[in-house]
Amino acid sequence: MMTSRRRFLKLTGAAAAAVGLPAAPARAQSGPVKIGVLAAKAGVTAPVGESGLRGVQFATDRINAGGGILGRRIALVVEEESSPKDTVERFRKLSLSDKVDVVSGAVSTGVGLALGPVAEEMKTIWLAWDATTQKGVEETMPKPRYSFRSCDNECEAVMASILTAKNWKGAFRRVAGINPDYSYGRDNWAAFLAIMKRHGIEVEVVSELWPKLGSTDFTSHVAALQQAKPDLVFSCFWAGDTPIFMKQAHAAGLTQGTKFVLTTGGGVHESMKKAFTPEGVLLGYNSMYFEHPRASALMKEFVRWHHEQFKEWPNYESDHGYFTVVAYKAAVERAAKAAGGRWPSVDQIVAALEGVEVESLSGPRRYREDHIMEATFFQGYTTHKNKHDFVTVDPVEAMGTKQIQKPSGVGLYDWINSWKV
């Protein structure tokens, strides 16, 4: 045991001397382009991580089939996103040990908050799929250089609130919120209330419930809602808890005569069965709707590929994943053109990523100069008229982040209060 350990130390020592450590992480200029991927594989975020990874895989296959990035193939190095501590270690591994060119991934808010500073320290470009909370954007990372964020967490709440104000004004007064007990749930609920106020809609909050993310029993919550008798229930559940809540709410008769706003339930759209999800619920699909009637040829190809591969219809996280890879490719090519055809440096790629716009699955997407993603969001009112056993929406409403995401450098609530309504 000891000898083998010594030999191991000696060997690694020799290896370290051979590559001339310690040195700044030098990126290879030839061979494949390495993209590190952080995808959740266990726990409540696992389906989201899987979905994002599929988008990355689809983009990678297409790019490699078309000759790669400037002639270099893409090779993926996939690691697991788990707790903040372990994921920071995985990020360091990708950067220091695998020497990846860029890291794509991460969806959990706590992980996102931890990874931002690490990406800056490691000078490694990080293109997040999600995990963009107010705190992460405003307090922790005022001017990130290497981190590129997803759309604000509140986009879906803002859009759902605007639609609610437009279509249901006057039809409700008593509102109840049931949202997951963490920053995402808190921020979304606060945004909803702020927008109702801005629109001059007087609401009475009759119940505010905060079940833990990933709960599987809502019988008591549903009973509390029954007591509170709301006209409208607002929820930004996005995981497996969404169908469970709707199932139990439906079984208790709560879905009769009560309006429902599910900002992000489209994340688990296939489990929103017709049996317990009524028609007329405002359902949000974040930034991609798999059955959009005006979907691009690219989108249709992806949906087909996804269904053939996994026997499932894709959700929005795939497009976050897809976009990060395609945006990276576009930025490298743009920067290379400016650098006379040579493979650009990390800083040149960062500069090229700022403002880059590409055709993503759901339509055009871009990175703002402040490293925040711009996309189109899709929501609509549920219908049972489809070929599936789960609900879809008709008609589909689309709003761009120019309309539903706060602009650079402005606080969320200052922005909402500045609206002209």
Partner 1 sequence: MLGGVFHAAVLFLVAAGLQLVFGVQRILNLACGSFYALGAYTGVSAVGWALGAGLPAPLFVLVLLAAGVALAAIGPPIERLLRTIYDRDEAFQLLLTFALVLMLEDVIRFVWGTAPVQLGGVYLVYGQARIASTTVPVYNLVVIAAGALIALGMGWFLARSRFGRIVRATAENREMAEALGVDMSRVYVRVFTLGVGLGTVGGALVIPATAAMNEMGIELIVEAFAVVVIGGLGSMRGAAAGALIVGVLKGVAIATWPEVEMLAIYVIVIAVLVLRPAGLFARATA
Partner 2 sequence: MARALGLAAVTALVAAPWILPPYHLTLLLPALGYSIALLGLNLLFGTTGLLSFGHALFVALGAYTAAVMTTHLGIKAFELVLAAAAGVAAVVAVPVGLLCVRYVKIYFGMLTLAFGMLFYSFLYKFYTLTGGDEGIRVGRPTLLGQAFEDLDKVAFLTGPFYYYALGLLGLAALGMHRIVTSPFGLCLRAVRENPDKAGSLAVGVRSYRLAAFVVAAVFGAVGGTLLAVPTGLADPLLAYWTHSGNLVFMLLLGGFEHFLGPLVGAVVFIFLQDQVMSLTPYWRFVFGVILAVVVIFFPRGLMGLLAPRARAA
Residues of this chain that bind partner 2 (CB under 8 A): 1-2, 5, 9, 12-13, 15-16, 19, 21-22, 41-42, 79-80, 83-86, 88-90, 92-93, 96-97, 109-110, 113-114, 117-118, 121-123, 133, 135-136, 140, 181-183, 186, 212-213
**From 189-197, 214-222, 345-353, 406-414, span contacting partner 1 (CB under 8 A):** 214-222
Check residue 211 for interaction with partner 1 (CB under 8 A): yes
The two structure tokens encoding residue 266: 């489209």
Please name the residue that has the structure tokens 């691009």.
Answer: 296
Check residue 41 for interaction with partner 1 (CB under 8 A): yes
Pick 82 or 362: Cβ nearer partner 2: 82
Pick 161 or 315: Cβ nearer partner 1: 315
Check residue 243 for interaction with partner 1 (CB under 8 A): yes
Check residue 121 for interaction with partner 1 (CB under 8 A): no
> How far apart, in whole angstroms, are the C-alpha atoms of residue 19 and residue 239?
45
Check residue 227 for interaction with partner 1 (CB under 8 A): yes
> Within a 13 Å sphere around the CA of 373, how many CA atoms are in the beta-carbon half?
32
Burial class (CB in 10 A: 0-12, 13-18, 19+), 285: buried
The two structure tokens encoding residue 89: 């270690």
CB–CB of 136/157 below 8 Å? no
Centre a 10 Å sphere on the Cβ of residue 194 and count the other Cβ atoms it contains.
19
Q: Is 24 helix (H, G, I), strand (E, B) or coil?
A: coil
Footprint of partner 1 on 287-316 (CB under 8 A):
312
Buried b (16+ CB within 10 A) or exposed e, 338-376: eeeeebbebebbbbbbeebebebbbbebbbbebbbbbbb
Check residue 198 for interaction with partner 1 (CB under 8 A): no
The two structure tokens encoding residue 212: 């833990």
| Nearest Cα to Cα of residue 150 among 328, 323, 382 | 323
Pick 210 or 415: Cβ nearer partner 1: 210
> How far apart, in whole angstroms, are the C-alpha atoms of residue 156 and residue 140?
22
Task: Out of 107, 118, 222, 353, point to the residue binding partner 1 (CB under 8 A).
Answer: 222
Q: Of these partners, partner 2, partner 1, none, which one is at the site of residue 403 (CB under 5 to 8 Å by kind)?
A: none
Check residue 276 for interaction with partner 1 (CB under 8 A): yes
Task: Please give the angle made by the CA atoms of 151, 152 and 156, to the nearest 5 degrees.
Answer: 95
> How far apart, in whole angstroms, are the C-alpha atoms of residue 355 and residue 5?
50
Footprint of partner 1 on 371-410 (CB under 8 A):
389
The two structure tokens encoding residue 420: 């002209």
Q: Which helix (H) or strand (E) holds 315?
A: none
Binding characters for partner 1, 319-358, by CB under 8 A (x = yes) = ----------------------------------------
Q: Of these partners, partner 1, partner 2, none, which one is at the site of residue 1 (CB under 5 to 8 Å by kind)?
A: partner 2
> How far apart, in whole angstroms, are the C-alpha atoms of residue 236 and residue 266?
10
Footprint of partner 1 on 45-64 (CB under 8 A):
46-47, 50
| Nearest Cα to Cα of residue 169 among 205, 206, 199 | 199
Task: Out of 224, 298, 346, 351, point to the residue binding partner 1 (CB under 8 A).
Answer: 224
Check residue 214 for interaction with partner 1 (CB under 8 A): yes
CB–CB of 146/170 below 8 Å? no
Q: Of these partners, partner 2, partner 1, none, which one is at the site of residue 388 (CB under 5 to 8 Å by kind)?
A: none
Task: Out of 97, 220, 408, 418, point to the residue binding partner 1 (CB under 8 A).
Answer: 220
Q: Which residues bind partner 1 (CB under 8 A)?
A: 41-44, 46-47, 50, 207-212, 214-217, 219-224, 226-227, 239-240, 243-244, 247-248, 250-253, 268, 271, 273, 275-276, 312, 389
